[in-house]
Structure 1
């Protein structure tokens, strides 16, 4: 039995992680919205390049957010930061609701991406700092699960209602989330870094229960703060540390392969891909089914990550993704180049293979490794730069996928994605150390090749 109550912090963590649910909505929005915008469901004409730009504005906004969220959080705290970032999020959805020109959609999506970048950083920080160490891991899994839940939600919503109603519902969710978060306690660690010891005690009482003996945890928090402050360095000095430099290179490599695998192309344009495949049943319903399969796969992955290790899951995940992307490429090659008709359902099958492979390893393990490879100080200093790289490559793939697919053929594009998945498996095999069961100190020693 624990000496604290699990229920209060679990409820708060689950509700707090709905920021990632909103992030998932933003990521999945363009899949059902794209075909509707191209069919002039809005009152204005939308070109293919403008649609690609609107889709890619979420990671582009997130790229900019990666460099300001730390400053805003340090200045105002996590709770107020979430409320601050909810403002551009609401503005973004209002622009989508009242859009009369393509630029309004593009600007709205940028505002949403900026907000989601802030949500991403603050959600993970908040849950990590309010949760007791004994249950922190399981509570953090809600972050990735809620992203996939948000993707599924907007897929289903897009299949049963029009784009205007979808945007209105999303804006209401943003408002409700901001209001709910305003009632949450600030994290004890943030309060103690600001010298607000009494407020930190009150926060722990709310999170752990009124009978909780907080003295030991208060000392542990203070020791962690002292350790971070003692090792505090700016980015250009922190990156000179061999372990930090190697961790940064590994994380940057994983983020590049994460996006060059084609996951952004699949999620952002899934409905369009299914339509182009000539699938016989409703592509919006098929999109929702794939979203559900992806959600179930990411939930199942939580039971494997500490059983089989990080390297095994990452390597096997990429191999399955290779099969999925090759299958999609071969189908479109046989359809568009060889002229074979029929077997449209194979696109759905191979998309399913890719999404299951992605969810079981790359989608979940990558973010676990970000938390494990960096030292405490490097997480604060270097991790936001790595997050910026992630958003940048997501923007590149989302922006250029439609035009590249038109220029060289959609089949060739998926063959390229398969090549990146295969290259990722090789690089992980050669360079990524196994971090399962190792302490932060042991991992840092492993990175600099010390026993």
Structure 2
């Protein structure tokens, strides 16, 4: 493909003479869309503090045994898988804006059902609805943000999507420290409600409007978002739709990066990072920490910090180096965490608890548990490696122009 052809297939419009847009409403629109990934992260992190809270709840509140707790955390993935398929269908038929508006509804409905839950089935139904919304939001929000952003801020706004996901997880952990499961579900309704309200005042993306041959609406959207519309060039209509055909997989330049991208995404998911996010507090309870909520918050903070760090250093350090380093860190940390459980298995320390009064003070309550620090330390390393791996992986896939049809969006 020649440079001229590449320039023609750019997904966004270009100003004449290279002039930079001056509008700032694009940041408001991006923030409104990013509330979807924030809600997505909150839904992922919700089960971690909610499961211990439900186990402590007195009747008539529903009670979770081990099997029910496993389903409560994992069923969100089934909803997200369906949401990923539904989001892909909505994206090109209902449009980017309407898809985001629609995904706010199952978010609110799901948390509302959890809030009113009187039995296990209502809890699972609510989690399934929030999972459906997660799948839609994880697919639609990045597309909306990339198509409304002008080149000077496209990278910045694009990096905010993953950062908002991990911020939502951290928000769930922090709120779960002080709120029981019902009030935590009420809080979960707030971000999608704000997204629904704000998106009603935001325009559709210019690219989608042009694909629907609505040039006047596209110009109005550009004027709203960027503060300038006159003289903008419309890309050739033939370049607006680049459909993927299975026959293209016969080309080495297509199937090799496609297989690499799919494999990396699969292995990243199989690393267990989602399980850690879903059951962080339960894991630390099993590791015999008295204040497992605080340990979960530490993990959430580490994830946010290293996601932001990966975004800042990725272009300088390179995707391949960071992915390799992240893999090594994750192998080492999970091995250390497994070693901790093995060393404390069946010993007298199995009935002891470890207090976490402060982030830097992790002294064991029992001297027999001398390796108690290993649990939090190894988990923090695992999360740090996973955050960097995911951030680099998503950026690499974007550079390869890959769109995985099997990705459900469950990437914390």
On whether the aligned pair clears a TM of 0.5, the verdict is yes
Moved more, 98-107 or 70-79: 70-79
SS in 1 for 2:85: coil
SS in 2 for 1:232: coil
1:382-432 CA-partner distances (Å, limit 9, x unpaired): x251314x65xx8xxx9xxxxxxxxxxxxxxxxxxxxxxxxxxxxxxxxxx
Residue aligning to 1:420: none
Q: Distance in 2 between matches of 1:55 and 1:179?
A: 29
Which residue, out of 159, 169, 190, partners 1:172?
190
Deviation at 1:248, TM superposition (A): 2.4
- Equivalent positions of 1:38-187 (< 5 A) are 38-40=55-57, 43-187=61-205
Deviation at 1:41, TM superposition (A): 5.0
- Equivalent positions of 1:38-437 (< 5 A) are 38-40=55-57, 43-209=61-227, 212-216=228-232, 218-219=233-234, 222-223=235-236, 225-229=237-241, 231-234=242-245, 236-280=246-290, 282-336=291-345, 341-342=368-369, 343-359=371-387, 361-374=388-401, 379=402, 383-388=403-408, 391=410
1:296-319 CA-partner distances (Å, limit 9, x unpaired): 111111111100111001000111
Query: Mind listing any 5+ residue stretches in structure 2 that lack a counterpart?
Result: 1-17, 350-367
Residue aligning to 1:429: none
* 1:248 and 1:386 in contact (8 A); partners too: no
For the aligned residue pairs, the C-alpha RMSD in angstroms reads: 2.1
Runs of 4 or more off by more than 4 Å in structure 1?
337-340
SS in 1 for 2:50: helix
Q: Distance in 2 between matches of 1:158 and 1:41?
A: 18
Residue aligning to 1:22: 39
TM-score with structure 1 setting the length: 0.79
Change (3 A) 1:41 1:250: farther
Q: Distance in 2 between matches of 1:371 and 1:273?
A: 34
Deviation at 1:338, TM superposition (A): 6.1
SS in 1 for 2:151: coil
Deviation at 1:38, TM superposition (A): 2.1
Deviation at 1:337, TM superposition (A): 5.2
* 1:8 and 1:206 in contact (8 A); partners too: yes
Query: Mind listing any 5+ residue stretches in structure 1 that lack a counterpart?
Result: 399-451
Residue aligning to 2:364: none
SS in 1 for 2:150: coil
Q: Distance in 2 between matches of 1:267 and 1:136?
A: 29
> Which has a greater percent of helix?
1
Q: Distance in 1 between matches of 2:167 and 2:137?
A: 16
Deviation at 1:150, TM superposition (A): 0.3
* 2:39 and 2:107 in contact (8 A); partners too: no
Q: Distance in 2 between matches of 1:357 and 1:233?
A: 33
Moved more, 197-206 or 80-89: 80-89
SS in 2 for 1:80: helix
* 1:204 and 1:214 in contact (8 A); partners too: no
Change (3 A) 1:136 1:214: farther
Deviation at 1:214, TM superposition (A): 4.5
Change (3 A) 1:6 1:291: farther
Q: Distance in 1 between matches of 2:87 and 2:231?
A: 31
Q: Distance in 2 between matches of 1:124 and 1:318?
A: 25
Deviation at 1:332, TM superposition (A): 0.5
Aligned residues: 375
* 1:40 and 1:46 in contact (8 A); partners too: no
Deviation at 1:39, TM superposition (A): 2.3
Moved more, 175-184 or 241-250: 241-250
